[in-house]
Structure 1
Amino acid sequence: MKKVLIVGAVAGGATAAGQLRFYDKEMNITVYDRDSTMSYAACGTPYVIGEVIKDETSLLMTDPEKFQQKRNIKVKLEHEVVEIFRAEKKVRVRNLNTGEEFDDSYDVLILSPGGSAIRPEIEGSQQKHVFTLRSYGDMQAIHSYIQKEKPLHCVISGAGFIGLEMAENLKHLGLEVDLVHKSSAILSILDKDLSQLLHAELEKNDVRVHTETVIDKIDDRHVYLSDGKILKADFVLMSIGLKPNTILAESAGLSLGETGGIRTNEFMQTDDESIYAIGDASENFDFITGDPKRVPLAWPAHRQAFLVAQHIVGNPIGKKGLLGTSALKVFSLDAAMTGLTETAIKEKGLNAQTVTHTGNSNAGYYPDHEKLTLKVHYHPETRQILGAQCVGGKGVDKRIDVLATAIFGGLTIDDLQALELSYAPPFSSPKDPVNMIGYKAFD
C-alpha cells in the first residue's frame, strides 16, 4: 500500500488528497498543516471582513473529522513539517500545541506549503493595529479588531488583488481608506490605461490613492509616507505581496527556480522524483513564452493537484503552462485578464500589435447594459493571441474566459470574427465585443 504525506491542507493539498482517494481507495494518505483550519476559500476573506458574506464558516469547505469519515484521509492540523530526510524518505513533524516532535515515513511527499504575506521591516510595523491578510486566522483577527476597536481611518499598503478588494470592503463598513502603492499605476498585471479606469473608480468612491510612494513609518494614529505625506491611520493593512514558503524545500536540497518557487517538471515533480510541489510555492512555466512563471491563485493549485494525483496513480498528464487568468471586482467595475501584458511583451522583446474595443456589454437599447473596454495583444505575423484584458460594468469575465479558451486552443486573432457566441439583448450584441476585436484586427 502506497503511503502519501501532504504538507498543506488548503487548496492544493486538500484537493490532491481528495483526488488521490478518488482514484485509489486503499492508499494511506496523511495531511499536515500548521494552521487551525483546512480547505477554506481564501479568496472570500475580504468579503467576510466587509460583511458581504455574513457567515465566516461558509468559507470552510470541510474539516479533519469529515475528511476522515468520508474519505479515510488523516488530517493533522497545528502540525508543522519542519524537516525532510530524503534519503530515509521521512519527515519530522512538530505538534505546535505540545512542542512534541516525531518522524513519519512516506513513499510520496507532496509539498503544498502556500505563501506568506510580506511584512516590510519598517518602524512600527509590528504594532497591534497593523495586519496582513493571508490566512483564515488573519481574517478573523482583522474582523474582530474592526468590530471591537471600531477604527475610523485605514491605510492599505499595496494595490494588488487583496489591496483593491479590501479597499472596497472597508469602504462598505464606513471606514476612511487611503491606498498606498509603490508603482505609478495600481494593479500591475493590467496595462496602465486600463488600470487608470480602476484608479478613477476608487477615487469616485472616496478611496484616496497615493502612487509612487511607500510607508516609511507607522505610529499609533498615523502613517508616514516616503513622499512626506502623513495619513491618519488607526488600522493598517500591509498587502504588498506574497513570498512562497520554500524554506522546507530549500533545507532538503530541492532547487528553486527564477521566480523563487520550487522548480518542478511537467508532472510537478521536484529534483526528487518522490517529492512533488504544487500551489503558490511551485514554479511552473508560461503557456505562451515557456518562461518560468509562478501564479499564486486558486485555479493553478487545483489543476496541479489533479495532475499530481494522476501521475501518482499511474496516469501521467503533463502540465500545459499557465496564462494567469484572473478577475476582480472594484466597486461597480470588474476587471479580468489573461496572458501577457503590455509590460511583459516589451520586457520579452516580442513583436506585437494591440487592438482595443470599447462598447456595450450587451444591446444598448436593453435597459441593463454597461460599458466595457476590451484590449487584446497579438503577433502581427503569426496572428497568435498573446494576451487580453477587459474592464467594465458587466460581462467582463465572459469575454476574458472566451479569449483564454481561444489562446489555449491555438485560435488566431482573426478566428475571433468567426466565433458564434451566444446572443440575446440581455447578454450581448449580434457582434460580440470578442468578434469586434477580430474584425478590427483584420487587415
Structure 2
Amino acid sequence: MTNARRTVIVGGVAGGMSAATRLRRLNETDDIVVLERGPHVSYANCGLPYLVGGVIAEEGSVLLQTPRSLGARFGLDVRTRHEVTAVDPVRKVVTVRDLAADAAFELAYDDLVLSTGAAPVRPAVPGIDRALACRDLDDVGRMMRAIDEGAATAAVIGAGFIGLEMAENLVRRGLAVTVLEAAPQVLGPVDVELAAVVESALRAAGVAVVTGARVVGVRSDTVVLADGASVPADLVVLAAGVRPESRLAVAAGAEVSDTGAIYVDDHQRTSVPGVYAVGDAVAKRSPRGMRDVPLANTANLQGRRVADVLSGHASTARLTRGTAIVEVLGTVVAMTGDSERTCRLRGIDVRVLHSHPLDHAGYYPGAEQMSLKLVVDAADDAILGAQAVGGTGVDKRIDVIATAMAAGLRASDLANLELAYAPQFGSAKDPVNMLGYMAENLRDGRSRTVQWHELDEAVAGGARLVDVRTAGEFAQDAVAGALNIPLDELRARIAELGPSVVVYCAVGQRGHVAARILAQHGIDVRNLDGGIRTWRAAAGRSPAWRTSDH
C-alpha cells in the first residue's frame, strides 16, 4: 500500500461516485477519497421532484448508497459534510473543511477529480432567499414541511424540465400552481409549436402559466412581476436554470467558458496538470461546438471514462446531443440534438419535417397520437435534431433517432431501419420509418413543403390555399381564406386552381397525395408541413429566431 496512488474526488453524486466505483473496480490498491459537501452521497437527484409529489413514497428509495456501504463494498473513503475550499495544484493538496467539526485540514492527492455539479441560478431580486430549489434531500425536506404546514399555493419560477416536473408534483399534492417563465414559451429547448402542446396540457390540468414573466420580488405569500401583477405563493420554487459550480477549478487556474463551464479534453483533463473534471460543471462537446448540458447520463459516463484514464485504459469521448425526456401531467416531451430555432439562429439551411402518427396500429385499442419533428441539414441530409410530444411510444422514437444520429445515419436512412412490429407496439410503417420516407421525398424533390411560420408569406406571395379535407372537417376548423376541395374531388376540380397552390390537411398525409397530383398537372404546389394540427398548435406565436430577444 505504500506505493498506492491517492485520487481525491470532490463531489459524491453521479459523475463523482461513478468515477470512484469504476476506479476501484479497475484498481484494487489505490487510495480513493470522496469528499462531499452535503450530508448524502450517491442519491438519485432526478427522483427528488417525485419524492415531493409522493410518487416515490420513501426518502430511502432515492438513497442508493451510504458512506458505510460504499466503504464495505468498494473500499472507498467517503466523507460527507466535507467541503473543499481550495486547490493547490503545485503542491497537489486540497484544503478541506470538516463542517461537522468546524475544522480545516489539508489532503494531498496524486490525481484530483472535480465533480462539483451546477448550482441553481438565483435572480437578484428582493426576497428571493425564500425561494426553494430542488437540488438535494434537504431542499425536498423544506418543501414537504411547507406543504405539511398548510401551503396551498405555489409559484414555480422557471418552466424548464425541472420546473415543470415540480409543477406536476405540486399539483399532485393539491396545491394551486402558477408557472412563471421569462421566455415567451415553456420548455425553452423545444421549438414553440411543440412546447405549445405542453402549455395547453398544463392549463387543462388547472396550472396557471405566465410566459414573458419577469419576477421583481418575492414577498411573504406572493411573487411580484414587473407588470405589477402579484401571484399567490405560499411556497416558491426556484427552477430558473443552473450554473456550473467551477469556483475551485477557476481558483486552481483551469480554463472555463463564458458560462463558467470547465473546459476538458477528450480524457476529462482540465488545463491544470493532475486535475480532471466531470459532470454538470463541465463544458460538453457537441457536433456543433461546446454546450452546457446538465444530464445524469452524461455525468455518469464521464465519471466512468475518467476512471479509465486514471487506470491507464483507453477511453473514448462521446459527443453530447442533449437527449432528454420529461413527462408533464400525462404529456411526454422528448428531444435530441439541435432545435430548428438553434439551427436557424446559427444560419444553417434546414429542412423540417412534422408528423402526427399513432404510437401503434390504429386498429388495435388504445392508440395515442404523438407529434414528431425532425430537423435535417438541407446540404447533406444529416439529422440535426428531433423532438416529440405525446404519450406512450415517444421515448422509443427519440431513442431510435438519437442512436441513428450517433451512428451517422442520414435522415433518409431512417426509412430503411428494421424496427420491431406488432400492432400493440407499433405500425408496419413505424413513425420513425415514416420520417425517413418524408426525408427521402424532400431530398429527392418529390415533395415541397411550407412551414407553419411561412404560410402567411406564401399566401401573400400569390399562392392559393386549398384545404383537401372533407367538407365536415373544413366546417369544424379551417385556415382563414382557404378553399375547400376534398382530396377525392381534386382531379375533377383542378381547373378552379391557379398556377401556385399551397395544400393542407389534418396532419400532412392527404396534403402530400394532393401535392403529388397537382405537381403532375403542372401546378407549382407545396404542402403545409404537419397540416392544420401543427399550424393550429403554433397559432399566434412567432418563431424565436425572428423575435427581438434573440
Structure-1 residue corresponding to 2:389: 391
SS in structure 2 opposite 1:371?
A: coil
Deviations 1:104-154 (A, max 9, x none): 111100000011112222112223xx311111211121112211x221111
Q: Report if aligned partners of 2:245, 2:260 keep a CA contact under 8 Å in 1.
A: no
Q: Report if aligned partners of 1:259, 1:293 keep a CA contact under 8 Å in 2.
A: no
SS in structure 1 opposite 2:155?
A: strand
How do residues 24-423 of structure 1 correspond to structure 2 at under 5 angstroms?
24-127=27-130, 130-147=131-148, 149-286=149-286, 288-289=287-288, 291-423=289-421
Higher relative contact order (CA 8 A, sep 6+): 1
Deviations 1:29-78 (A, max 9, x none): 00001100001101100000000110111001100001111110000100
Q: Report if aligned partners of 1:267, 1:308 keep a CA contact under 8 Å in 2.
A: yes
1:258 Cα deviation after fit: 3.7
Distance across 2 between alignment mates of 1:373 and 1:328? 15
SS in structure 2 opposite 1:32?
A: strand
Distance across 1 between alignment mates of 2:30 and 2:357? 54
Distance across 2 between alignment mates of 1:221 and 1:24? 54
Deviations 1:329-350 (A, max 9, x none): 0111101000001121012211
Q: Which runs of 4+ in 1 moved over 6 A?
A: none
Deviations 1:184-212 (A, max 9, x none): 01101101100000000000000000000
Q: Report if aligned partners of 2:118, 2:244 keep a CA contact under 8 Å in 1.
A: yes
SS in structure 2 opposite 1:257?
A: coil
SS in structure 2 opposite 1:402?
A: helix
The residue type paired with residue 125 of structure 1 is I
Distance across 2 between alignment mates of 1:47 and 1:284? 28
TM-score, with structure 2 as normaliser:
0.79
SS in structure 1 opposite 2:438?
A: helix
Distance across 1 between alignment mates of 2:91 and 2:316? 28
1:316 Cα deviation after fit: 2.7
Distance across 2 between alignment mates of 1:295 and 1:178? 26
Q: Report if aligned partners of 1:267, 1:316 keep a CA contact under 8 Å in 2.
A: no
1:356 Cα deviation after fit: 1.1
Instruction: Give the percent of matched residue pairs that are identical in Structure 1 and Structure 2.
Output: 37
The residue type paired with residue 184 of structure 2 is S
Q: Report if aligned partners of 1:157, 1:214 keep a CA contact under 8 Å in 2.
A: no
Deviating more after overlay: 111-120 vs 403-412 = 111-120
TM-score, with structure 1 as normaliser:
0.97
1:172 Cα deviation after fit: 1.0
The residue type paired with residue 304 of structure 1 is Q
Deviations 1:381-430 (A, max 9, x none): 31110000000011111000000000000001111001010111111000
1:226 Cα deviation after fit: 1.2
The residue type paired with residue 198 of structure 2 is L
Q: Report if aligned partners of 2:156, 2:239 keep a CA contact under 8 Å in 1.
A: yes
Distance across 2 between alignment mates of 1:379 and 1:426? 33
Q: Larger radius of gyration, structure 1 or 2?
A: 2
Distance across 2 between alignment mates of 1:221 and 1:59? 31
1:380 Cα deviation after fit: 2.0
Distance across 1 between alignment mates of 2:103 and 2:270? 29
Gaps of 5+ in 2: 445-550
The residue type paired with residue 226 of structure 1 is A
Q: Report if aligned partners of 2:252, 2:272 keep a CA contact under 8 Å in 1.
A: no
Deviations 1:225-257 (A, max 9, x none): 112221111111111011111111111111102
Q: Report if aligned partners of 1:376, 1:387 keep a CA contact under 8 Å in 2.
A: yes
Distance across 2 between alignment mates of 1:137 and 1:103? 28
Distance across 1 between alignment mates of 2:240 and 2:407? 34
1:87 Cα deviation after fit: 0.6
Gaps of 5+ in 1: none
Deviations 1:250-300 (A, max 9, x none): 1111110244201100111001231110001011211x22x1112111011
Q: Report if aligned partners of 1:119, 1:132 keep a CA contact under 8 Å in 2.
A: no
SS in structure 2 opposite 1:354?
A: strand
Distance across 1 between alignment mates of 2:68 and 2:253? 34
Q: Report if aligned partners of 1:222, 1:233 keep a CA contact under 8 Å in 2.
A: yes
Distance across 2 between alignment mates of 1:132 and 1:381? 43
1:82 Cα deviation after fit: 0.6
Distance across 1 between alignment mates of 2:258 and 2:371? 34
Paired residue for 1:2, among 5, 21, 41?
Answer: 5
The residue type paired with residue 115 of structure 1 is A
Distance across 1 between alignment mates of 2:258 and 2:297? 22
Q: Report if aligned partners of 1:259, 1:283 keep a CA contact under 8 Å in 2.
A: no
Distance across 1 between alignment mates of 2:271 and 2:74? 30
The residue type paired with residue 38 of structure 2 is D
Distance across 2 between alignment mates of 1:214 and 1:167? 18
SS in structure 2 opposite 1:360?
A: coil
